[in-house]
Amino acid sequence: MKKAILAPMLAATCVLAAYAVAETPQAAAAPAAQQGPQLSQEEYTAYNSVITATDPAAKATAAEAFLTKYPQSTVKSTVLEQLLAAYAQANNAPKALDAADRLLQVDPNNIRALALETSLLKTQGDNAPATDTAAKQAAYDKAADAASRGLKATKPSAVSDTDWAAIQKQVTPYFYSAIGIDALTKKDSAGAIAAYTSELKAVDPAQTTQPGPFLQDTFFLGQAYYTSTPPDYLNCAYFTTRTAMLAPDQFKSQFQPLATYCYKKYHGGEDGYDAVKTTAQANLFPPDTFAASVKPAPTPADQATTVYEADKKDDPALAKAALADREFVMSYGTQEQGDAEFAAIKGKELKVEGKVVSITDTALALAVSDDAKQANPATADFSVTLKEAPKTVPAVGAEIAVVATFDSYTQKPLMITMTGGEVEAKSAAKIPAKSTTPARRTPARSR
């Protein structure tokens, strides 16, 4: 999963956003008289020194002193909030995380503490070495747990509806971001898609056009579509293309390969891709007309029908078709199409060239098509019975030519059977070029 390539462009990370959240008043610091039982003058003085301090270090020192002296104070949660804000302002991540933990023990529903924990723990996962997958996943799991609790947090009675809505609007995208990366790392593509989609719907689209966590997560949404089963190449192409178009120039080349790959896998070529770039750059989510505007690549069956019909048009008897075309139609066409292509060569003696997959006495297995040769290991698509065992047995992997008679075939998986074969006494390097009609296309069987 490509994440490290995004780090340099994300100077303003989700952690900094959480610091901002930590400073957003959930409720104004109320006078001690409104905190339930009256505080003693000494406790009130200590409390007031916390809430009035403006320097983060001074505020943290005063808060820690207060909590040590008054561990059961009725204003403990307010002081912990002040402590959390102080450490956040000072960019002291370990202390901020500790303060958030302490605040959540007193107030499990505190959305600011949950937001900061989510962000800091997610950053721990981001920064964990790629080789330490256990540490990375553990941090993401904890971040996702805090995020899930944050999404379920309810409004405290002291907070107005307007203030609560503002806080939720600020923190909700970061909660979904943490859930998304946790799911994506676990290969839960559906969970990642749901989380990243909710995240992007929760932000102003303008925020997704600038380098930052939302543009990063736009790319991850595309990745989640790519890793789905089966892959959703069209949505992958859309969101990764949007990222590539909006990323700084020095990073475009790192996002573009997946975008182009997914588009070509869906469409079959790069034609029409400029229109996708324009649409993706202008719209956070695909418009309703987008899917209909991009034509899917022909299926192998569609391609086989096209090749078959062209062969028939050239020669109704199908005697002139190239062997590569015949194989493609026999593999992916209908049974009737395959039978017609094979009938034109059945009983004929022809030369075929291929890579030796195995040979035992007179039983020879060859990989003849490009796909069969390029498979790892090479797979046989021709089975040849030789007239006699060759005096010099060709090595497995050697390219040889065999003259034999076509006898029969099976379609799935394709296996063409030939009999009466003889291995030509020529090395692969000396095998002449085929004299048969050139194939119409190079069958690209894997889409």
For 299-341, how does the pLDDT look when each residue is reduced to its tens digit (9 = 90+)?
889 999 999 999 999 999 999 999 999 999 999 999 999 999 9
> In this structure, is the dihedral angle defined by the CA atoms of residues 115, 117, 122 and 127, taken in order, positive or negative?
positive
32: tokens are 């001690």
117-152: b or e for each residue (b if 16 or more CB lie within 10 Å)?
Answer: bbbbbbbbbbebeeeeeeebeebbbbbbbbbebbbe
| Residue carrying the six token digits 């390539």 | 5
Task: Give the model confidence (pLDDT) of 254-287 as tens digits.
Answer: 999 999 999 999 998 999 999 999 999 999 999 9
CA dist list (Å): 308 to 222, 315, 332, 443: 37, 10, 11, 13
**Vertex 299, ends 276 and 311: CA angle to 5°?**
120
Q: Are 304 and 297 in contact (CB under 8 A)?
A: no
Pairing between strand 415-423 and 382-386?
parallel
The confidence score (pLDDT) of residue 431 equals: 38
Contact predicate 362/354, CB 8 Å: no
Give how far the C-alpha of residue 205 lies from the chain's centroid of Cα atoms, to the nearest Å.
Answer: 21
- The low-confidence residues of the chain, meaning pLDDT below 50, are 1-36, 427-437, 442-447
Candidates 191, 267, 271; CA nearest to 236 is 267
180-225 pLDDT per residue, tens: 999 999 999 999 999 999 999 999 999 999 999 999 999 999 999 9
Q: What is the DSSP string of 412-439?
A: TTTEEEEEEEEE-SS-GGGPPPP-SPPP
Q: What is the dihedral of CA 410, 415, 421, 427, to 10 degrees?
A: 160
Decide: 227 and 261 in contact? Cβ < 8 Å: no
Question: Domains of the chain (ranges plus CATH)?
Answer: 301-430 (2.40.50.140)
Name the average pLDDT for the chain.
Answer: 88
pTM of the model: 0.70
For 279-329, the DSSP string reads HHHH-SS--TTHHHHSPPPPPHHHHHHHHHHHHHHH-TT--S--HHHHHHH
